[in-house]
């Protein structure tokens, strides 16, 4: 399967595991970075003593 973007075709070969893995990691990072109206920043607590 290929994707047409700006008059060029892009694809990842069936046996290209490294590229598929990298693409999956990027997709997961983008999903984690999505901001929604219910998303809240994490709170970091440190001891005061």
DSSP 6-36: TTEEEE--TT-HHHHHHHHHHHHHHHHH---
CA gap 16, 8 in Å, rounded: 20
Confidence bin at 45 (pLDDT 50/70/90): confident
At 2, list the tokens.
């290929």
pLDDT band at 40 (very low <50, low <70, confident <90, very high): low
What is the end-to-end Cα distance of the chain in Å, rounded? 58
Say what the pTM is. 0.52
Separation CA 46–CA 49 (nearest Å): 9
């Amino acid at each position: 399967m290929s994707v047409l973007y700006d008059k060029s075709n892009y694809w990842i070969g069936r046996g290209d595991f490294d590229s598929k893995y990298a693409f999956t990691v990027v997709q997961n990072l983008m999903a984690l970075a999505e901001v929604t109206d219910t998303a809240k920043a994490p709170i970091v607590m440190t001891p005061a003593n």
